[in-house]
Structure 1
Amino acid sequence: MTDVHPPQQLVTIDGAPALRPRVGRLLVLLFPAVAAMYALFNGISAVILPAQVEAVDPTSKVGNLALLTTLAAVASMVAIPAGGAISDRTRSRYGRRTPWIAAAAAVSAVACILMGLAESLPGLIATTVVLWFAANFYSGAVTAILPDRVPPRRRGVASAVIGLGTPVGIVFGVQVASRVGHLTAYAVIGAVLLVTTALLLLGAREGSARGLPVAARNRSSPGQSLRSFFAAFATRDFRLAFFSRFMLFASYFVVSGYTFYTLQDYVGTGNVPDGDVATAVSTLLTLSVGVWVVVASLAGWIADRMDRRKLFVGASALGVAASMTIPLATPTWTGMLIYSACLGASIGTYFAIDLAVMSLVLPNADSEGRDLGILQVATGLPQLLAGAVASAVITWCGGYPALFVFGALSAVVSGLLMLRIRSIR
């Protein structure tokens, strides 16, 4: 299938000539697809799934939800690099990524409906694992569009578009999930993912991949295959990017996952507006996301113009660390508002440019999708570990102040690791 628009420039992908479509059109269509993906993740996990788990078994809801989220995280960590790796090796007339993006979107939509119909814990477990695997497989293949089809000089803007899709998707997904019945919410979220994916794949068509060379497949032992899969870690800058990302998201998820209890037990229920902790959490999230959107809209463009992407990402990680010190100095509602605004600005900058940096440390053009997927595991793994780490820090290291100290130190390590990358500015 050929692109319906005039080629912007002739480039080489995996050593073979390929036509690159207009980047502007691609990004305009990529944004709603990414937002729909994050709407699925956050609308379901934050609102719909907890309510379903409680309806199935109110007395065991905490343990059951922990089981489901753990299984979902495991499925995610397998699916993201798999989506990149399998699409890397695909050679179809529709391109490398398109068949898998379309299939994963369709499976995700069907799984949404089946999950909405589930009325037992085994049914929720099965559908949750299938949905999270399919949606994260989709994520791995979609994200690989960045190194495939966007030139390095435009990747800051492209990363900002993808980064901006995160807060927009969160707001949309949570609003849909909280305003309609759960089956309707599942249907709407699944339908939006299908429609936005169709617009992306048809409006910015990927060229045929049939002419691309296929990497030789050598007979090897399972151990050799595993080492080959993680071969990118042999590259210094790739390792630094992975661990920098891991530490940043450890900082963010370990602290943000306990915002409700922080307000309740550290700031004090009587010190939040009207004593309503749930509304206070919503207010902080809305403020943070609002600042995030404004900052992300500008940061990627500025980083491209200055050609200083590493500097921006490193500085934003240090900004997260500085934000974490505010509740330590001012454990009040006003302090939490200032903290949320500063955190939103720092995270917004990070998300706007992070993927551009990640795409520039990929060591092998033949496995860009797989290696970018592995870098995305650095986001999922901290989410999986966040609850246990936060609980241990609060219990054994001095309560909620220690939680913010942990977050600040993790973010500092992230920033310092990022600034040590040599291959990009």
Structure 2
Amino acid sequence: MHSLPAPADQSSPVWVTGAARVRLQLSLMVNFFLLMALYSGVLGVLLPNQIAELSPGAKENNLALLFAITSIFSTLATPIAGALSDRTRSRWGRRAPWIAIASLIGSLCLFGVSLMTSFWSLMILWVMAAIAYNAMQPAMTTLIADRFAPVSRGGVSGIVGAGMTAGLTAGTVVAGYLAGERVLAYGLFAAAIAASCLAFVALNREPPSDTMPRRPIHWGSFFKSFWISPRAHPDFAWAFASRFTIYMGYQAVAAYLLYILRDYIGLADGASNIAIANMALLTLVCLVASSLISGWLSDRWQRRKPFVVLGSLIMGVAMTAPLLAPSMTGMWVYAGVIGIGYGMFMSIDMALMTQVLPKSALGDEGKDLGVLTTAVNIPQILSPVMAAILLGMFDNDYRAIFIAALLFVFGSALCVLPIRSVH
């Protein structure tokens, strides 16, 4: 890697340069593309279809239960794995072992899901896969803080964000068209992310960490370190709140999108699988364009907050389309506008998060970014449960979900405004 020699501590970060920088950017984009494709394809299409086949009369409640239990374990795994990666000492670096090993474990479990014939066996294997993938994700995310200078993180975040948002769309497209070939679909996602992560580690060698000072784990102080005081670090707290609220809104709709097309719009099962894939294609174009343009402008102007705020507001506008037009026309408008807003938010959000981390001489970026990632995982517990409760209260009227989602994503914009350390 064309970069400076690895320092003995965290006081002199190693910024990757030259061809190695480009390679790392593109590798991160590909890895996050495939990981988000896996999440969207499996959570948005494959699992809802499989659950509907196993328990048609209880599909909504079982899906909410799956999301809730999965997210409890994911929420715990993410910051703990991030903190342990900070302490990892090996010739391959701090992050690479987590990326390689966790991706293999997750992919084996994911393929096993395709063979399950009961809801609870499906649940157990999927939770195991989710724990592994969530142990891998903070290691990859932290490489942005580890290896890229702050002034260039908007562009990096834009490129990675474009990959992530494109992956969310591509995964839905692939899963929608392969929904009838369950084993093939699960196997394709599992093999792709495992191969990509192994190639990532081989192509982007981290500086060895085995010469860095050892950090023994004292379990009491270790777990106490996950509490980051909002009073001492208000910008971190506001960034957490912004991320939490926008994902509460976004996930409430995304988790039930297949059922929305069937029960709110009135499509048949086969038609809904095709429709969710075709909608995702429109979203893909809007996501990629919005992510790349926003990331480039953010670095050019050295501004983060306006893009995150505007992205949140645009997402709120998207939620109104199915309310005003409960038809495929409204869903097409939703698909396009949500792509623009979510692409803008997601591309800059990652750069903003790396710039509100508490300053630490110990190298706790993995742990702190893991804590921020729980702002995505916790809504995966709460938002499907909230949606199921709203459906029960309002006689399966999906408009209640869209209204709640609109309020949450607008609230996200308000949470960004008090942040002072980032413009």
Change in Cα spacing, 1:38 to 1:140, as seen in structure 2 (3 Å) is: same
Partner of 2:333: 338
Q: Report the alpha carbon displacement of residue 215 of structure 1 after superposing the two structures with TM.
A: 4.4
Sequence identity (%) = 32
In the alignment, residue 369 of structure 1 is paired with which amino acid?
G
Is 1:361 matched with 2:361?
no
For residues 166-245 of structure 1, the aligned pairs below 5 Å read 166-177=164-175, 178-179=177-178, 181-215=181-215, 222=220, 225-231=222-228, 233=230, 234-245=232-243
Partner of 2:2: 6
Partner of 2:317: 322
Is 1:307 matched with 2:307?
no
Q: Report the alpha carbon displacement of residue 208 of structure 1 after superposing the two structures with TM.
A: 0.9
Q: Report the alpha carbon displacement of residue 330 of structure 1 after superposing the two structures with TM.
A: 4.8
Query: Which one is further off, 94-103 or 382-391?
Result: 382-391
Is the contact between residue 357 and residue 369 of structure 2 (CA under 8 Å) also seen in structure 1?
A: yes
In the alignment, residue 167 of structure 1 is paired with which amino acid?
T
Q: Report the alpha carbon displacement of residue 59 of structure 1 after superposing the two structures with TM.
A: 5.6
Could you tell me how far apart the structure 2 residues matched to 1:402 and 1:186 are? Answer: 32
Q: Report the alpha carbon displacement of residue 249 of structure 1 after superposing the two structures with TM.
A: 1.1
In the alignment, residue 15 of structure 1 is paired with which amino acid?
S
Could you tell me how far apart the structure 2 residues matched to 1:13 and 1:20 are? Answer: 16
For structure 1, the 5+ residue unaligned runs are none
Is 1:20 matched with 2:21?
no
Change in Cα spacing, 1:34 to 1:124, as seen in structure 2 (3 Å) is: same
Could you tell me how far apart the structure 2 residues matched to 1:334 and 1:121 are? Answer: 34
Query: Which one is further off, 384-393 or 293-302?
Result: 384-393
Partner of 1:408: 406
In the alignment, residue 351 of structure 1 is paired with which amino acid?
M
Could you tell me how far apart the structure 2 residues matched to 1:318 and 1:176 are? Answer: 29
In the alignment, residue 313 of structure 1 is paired with which amino acid?
V
For structure 2, the 5+ residue unaligned runs are none
Could you tell me how far apart the structure 2 residues matched to 1:229 and 1:341 are? Answer: 38
Partner of 2:29: 31
In the alignment, residue 359 of structure 2 is paired with which amino acid?
N
Could you tell me how far apart the structure 1 residues matched to 2:305 and 2:188 are? Answer: 38
- Give aligned pairs, total: 414
For residues 72-221 of structure 1, the aligned pairs below 5 Å read 72-177=70-175, 178-179=177-178, 181-215=181-215
TM-score normalised by structure 2 residue count: 0.87
Q: Report the alpha carbon displacement of residue 34 of structure 1 after superposing the two structures with TM.
A: 1.3
Could you tell me how far apart the structure 1 residues matched to 2:389 and 2:55 are? Answer: 27
Could you tell me how far apart the structure 2 residues matched to 1:404 and 1:115 are? Answer: 30
Is 1:43 matched with 2:38?
no
Could you tell me how far apart the structure 2 residues matched to 1:53 and 1:334 are? Answer: 28
Change in Cα spacing, 1:304 to 1:96, as seen in structure 2 (3 Å) is: same
Query: Which one is further off, 156-165 or 81-90?
Result: 156-165
Post-superposition CA distance 1:375-408 (Å, at most 9, x none): 1111121122122322444555795554433323
Is the contact between residue 13 and residue 147 of structure 2 (CA under 8 Å) also seen in structure 1?
A: no
Could you tell me how far apart the structure 2 residues matched to 1:28 and 1:304 are? Answer: 18
TM-score normalised by structure 1 residue count: 0.86
In the alignment, residue 69 of structure 1 is paired with which amino acid?
F
Could you tell me how far apart the structure 2 residues matched to 1:340 and 1:137 are? Answer: 30
Post-superposition CA distance 1:67-126 (Å, at most 9, x none): 333222222111211221110111211111011111101111222333333344443232
Change in Cα spacing, 1:330 to 1:64, as seen in structure 2 (3 Å) is: closer
In the alignment, residue 132 of structure 1 is paired with which amino acid?
A
In the alignment, residue 208 of structure 1 is paired with which amino acid?
P
Could you tell me how far apart the structure 2 residues matched to 1:265 and 1:50 are? Answer: 14
Query: Which one is further off, 251-260 or 145-154?
Result: 251-260
Q: Report the alpha carbon displacement of residue 279 of structure 1 after superposing the two structures with TM.
A: 4.5
